Structure 1
């Protein structure tokens, strides 16, 4: 019995050591929110792009794609593609839009386009064998990110949450849209979601092609090159864009640095639309400091009744009281899922992409967010914010403090697992 006990203790020690090693491998450092300046975000754009580990690229055109219109543009661009189509997504479920997209990609491959499709193995497990077969029989290359295999044992919680499409190396679609039927329509009822993406043309598309290449090479070992995928791109507009996507080992991810840093740069107002808003304590303090210096901070999230994952909303609720005490105004939309991942600062700069404002996006997932300096786009996004706020419920501090014990218990319980939700 003594020997058996020693063996069990040894095995338990080895298990603890393995968990510690895996945690150490995946650990990232917190960000110090100390970047403040009397200058506006326009003047500090090169600094913001630099600290967020991405290039600042001028000469682009950006078109906002709202709700189901995204798929009209996506399918149109795929039908007109002549050289290459690259698709990277987190969530693809069998359904009408999934079948239409698979058919469009198959047709593109048959007319000679190089079609590469990178799917998160967890989020796309319900893509449907029929859709995959349609694409692969036509010559599309389909790869899965971090499938369930021993080689990925330390990375199974790390998901590819990006939503990126690159057409002929000349245009990219970036945002929050998933390949699921609930993203069709115009958020007109409890079934259809609201979301935002952008179509981007200009020199920054070369960078976004490189973003796709990062995980494609990691999963397939294929390095692609040439004018079919990386053409010379002339300026297409006057918009400056800086992508944030890198996630260095042992350091903060670019999307985390980006979202945290701009809080300190705001001088007038911050507007956030995000489905999963769980800021870290340091970020909450930064919001409070922004309010104290006169910044109007407003946040729009879905209510538990509108969310696709009410557990996440309860986890978010755990920090609402502190946010409200800091002077942040919070609005909950009860009618459907608001899935857009958008932030605007001072009516001039916008962030749009795949990243939620939570630790899972900031520390675990692979994400892609575009920082965009364009007053007209920021105005459009603020108008969309106001549209949904018109039907949302503002949370009031005193009423929130009086919410029921069961509600508070759920908030605190689910917050314990917010990195996994």
Structure 2
């Protein structure tokens, strides 16, 4: 047999192996449809149930914007007495790395159980010195889906969650990353805008369970007892449910949550998201919302404001269709708007780590909190209004006239939208 036969056989086997891996790892991607006349304010138990969660009442919520988040986070880590669990996607060398790693190492030296879970892809630039400092202090630092043969089928699956649980009594959830661009107050193109929540009350048990899911998957370790799951009294009046699961035989919970909320809207849908590449069924749902008289607006960074212009170009591919549906689109050119927020009808909000794209809705491990609280929705809408005042609205006729080169780039990058 000649060389070409063996080359052909090797290529065929490689393709077969790739197909097998894809088939094993493929998540179902059904087109979602809902028919319902009730408003979202009546359907929180439905939203929670469809996303395999439970509505949890009695919570206190504090909104923290931009670099002030790290002042609060490190202060609360420093006050821990029993345990600190920290999970993030993006951790990079720099001053914020020093502050967060010092706080975690300090608590470990004080006798707290400190567990740190970093995504192996997003945190590949974490400094060896900072990781070793934490380990030497007694922190257990692990990586999600390290590059290895046993992880061959899941290398594209990333832990995109950003959360911290302290003493099992308080938690942080949102979009902030451990990278120096997240310091400051979004005052220029070098400093990112973001929003996270500081949470107290029974919902903290749920967030602790979210951390446990991936920690157990990577280490096999289960943690039990009052150091991690203490009895929690009500700490406020906010009703919260969490979406985070990716069942093998259904669409991921974060996708179902966002889609259902869009279909239930009766007055307003305002979306703030850094990576907005809606799938066809989401575009259809947003268009149907406009037909119902819903005010649908999306605020996102422009290519000049984005940290990944390829993503924004991929999103551009469907702008004309969205605009024809009546969706209002705004691009912010001044810096990266990284907050992942959606408000519906001025009463319900979604906030967490999930982007509005295929990667977050189909592949990544994410966490999104659904919150029924009109004052909080008003706070998020005020953030929207503050940034949209300096954004540029995309007009349909002007957008249709954009250059052929721009259109070509949009369509080329859209081909890889599931990987961006």
Please classify the TM superposition score into its range, dividing by the shorter chain length: over 0.9
**Any idea what SS the aligned residue of 1:153 has?**
helix
| 8 A contact 2:28–2:248 mirrored in 1 | no
Q: CA deviation at 1:9?
A: 3.3
TM alignment of 1:335-374, pairs within 5 A? 335-374=334-373
Q: CA deviation at 1:65?
A: 0.8
Match of 1:76 in 2: 75
List gaps (5 residues or longer) in structure 1. none
Match of 1:162 in 2: 161
TM alignment of 1:310-325, pairs within 5 A? 310-325=309-324
Q: Deviations over 1:266-320 (max 9, x none)?
A: 0000000000000001110111110001000000000000000001000000010
Q: Deviations over 1:88-137 (max 9, x none)?
A: 00001111111011111111011111000000011111111111111111
Q: Deviations over 1:386-406 (max 9, x none)?
A: 110000000000000000111
TM alignment of 1:226-375, pairs within 5 A? 226-375=225-374
Change (3 A) 1:239 1:332: same
| 8 A contact 1:26–1:250 mirrored in 2 | no
Match of 2:190 in 1: 191
Match of 2:148 in 1: 149
**Any idea what SS the aligned residue of 1:161 has?**
coil
Q: CA deviation at 1:29?
A: 2.1
**Any idea what SS the aligned residue of 1:154 has?**
helix
Distance (Å, rounded) in 2 between the aligned partners of 1:332 and 1:31: 30
| 8 A contact 2:67–2:185 mirrored in 1 | yes
Q: 2:123 aligned with 1:124, yes or no?
A: yes
Distance (Å, rounded) in 2 between the aligned partners of 1:163 and 1:343: 17
Q: Deviations over 1:198-226 (max 9, x none)?
A: 01111111111010001101111111111
Match of 2:214 in 1: 215
Q: Deviations over 1:36-80 (max 9, x none)?
A: 322111111101111112121111111111111111110110011
Tell me the TM-score normalized by structure 2.
0.98
Aligned Cα RMSD in Å?
1.0
Q: CA deviation at 1:3?
A: 4.8
| 8 A contact 1:33–1:286 mirrored in 2 | no
Count of residues in correspondence between the two structures: 420
Q: CA deviation at 1:11?
A: 2.4
List gaps (5 residues or longer) in structure 2. none
Tell me the TM-score normalized by structure 1.
0.98
| 8 A contact 2:29–2:362 mirrored in 1 | no
TM alignment of 1:20-39, pairs within 5 A? 20-39=19-38
Distance (Å, rounded) in 1 between the aligned partners of 2:3 and 2:301: 53
Match of 2:62 in 1: 63
